[in-house]
Amino acid sequence: MAICCFPSPLKPMTPATPLTNLKPKRPDILRCNFSLPTITTTEPEPVFTSVRSFAPATVANLGPGFDFLGCAVDGLGDFVSLRVDPSVHPGELSISDISGPKKLSKNPLYNCAGIAAIATMKMLNIRSVGLSLSLEKGLPLGSGLGSSAASAAAAAVAVNELFGRKLEVKDLVLAGLESEAKVSGYHADNIAPAIMGGFVLIRSYDPLELMSLQFPVEKDLIFVLVSPDFEAPTKKMRAALPAEIGMPHHVWNCSQAGAFVASVLQGDLVGLGKALSSDKIVEPKRAPLIPGMEGVKKAALEAGAFGCTISGAGPTAVAVVDSEERGVEIGERMVETFWKEGKLKAVASVKRLDRVGARLVGSVPR
């Protein structure tokens, strides 16, 4: 199915603060509004006949940072292949193939990659060529690793690269948010790090302001990701959260989120892990819904992890350590505990921080 994407005129986007003008060692800030304007007044020509892009898995919330903290994880993610297709009507997008979960729709209006690709085409004012998209899912659905965001990020980057990289990072995040809003809610703590890489703080949603947090390159940060055979849909897990919270828990979580950000910037793994494990609002409501999760966290900490929590909405558990060898050992303990206490089979992976985010991995010139 092909979907027309040419938009009606919208108001212009608030300009972002150029990253090159920011003072050294301060967080990068990106600001934009909610609309999807046409960024390019002149429709760009494709510079490739086809491109292939990759977007990494992400860990959202990171303990006390519900809906405003996230980071990208290296080595796991989704691929998107995009090509100019004469058989597709000009200005339209068709999804030709999806490898992975069978239940994903090929209708671009109901597919994460399709929605983001269409939003990016709108921004670029694409009217003269039709595009065909192929999605390769490397992430399971409902895993807590930003599966929908990875598809959206890879698609937005693919469209942008195909037409000569005319859009800025903030534009791509907005395109990805179009997808996230329709799939799991308007939250940027997966899509922003999937596109930007590293750690990202969502400073504001109205207007959208994103801050890139730089973890020191000379420090090792290892994630232990343990995914049980259990699906935790984001919408269901969000429905379990309290509508109101008490002031003591609000103060506690704010202080721990602040400590987490400071620890990231300082490269303090002990402080980072302590803050990661400290959520008193979201995790206590979600952990009981994932069989064995509470025991898995305890096992990880007892085995030497600096911290452990639920990745995003779950069911994946994430722990942080400073070496891959220790990560493998802790992952084994966590897998054992998922089975012992939750009767769930689980798979562990040990990964590093992805500092790049979504990117072009292949292309065929015109």
- Of 328, 355, 72, nearest to 193 (Cα)? 72
Map residue 94 onto helix, strand or coil: strand
**C-alpha distances out from residue 80 to 87, 237, 255, Å:** 19, 28, 39
Tokens of 102: 């069978």
The active-site residue out of 180, 283, 309, 337 is: 180
The CA distance from 56 to 138, in Å, is 9
Is cis: bond before 207, omega within 30 of 0?
yes
| Residue 279: alpha-carbon gap to chain centroid | 20
The active-site residue out of 38, 58, 120, 234 is: 234
Enclosing H/E stretch for 119: helix 112-124
Amino acid at 10: L
Is 294 catalytic? The answer is no
The residue with tokens 């998209």 is 133
The CA distance from 265 to 199, in Å, is 10
Tokens of 91: 């200005």
**Are the CB atoms for 315 and 226 separated by under 8 Å?**
no
Count CB-CB contacts under 10 A for residue 48.
Answer: 20
Amino acid at 345: K
Count CB-CB contacts under 10 A for residue 38.
Answer: 18
Map residue 362 onto helix, strand or coil: strand
**Are the CB atoms for 151 and 80 separated by under 8 Å?**
yes
Is 38 catalytic? The answer is no
For the annotated catalytic residues, the residue numbers are 180, 234
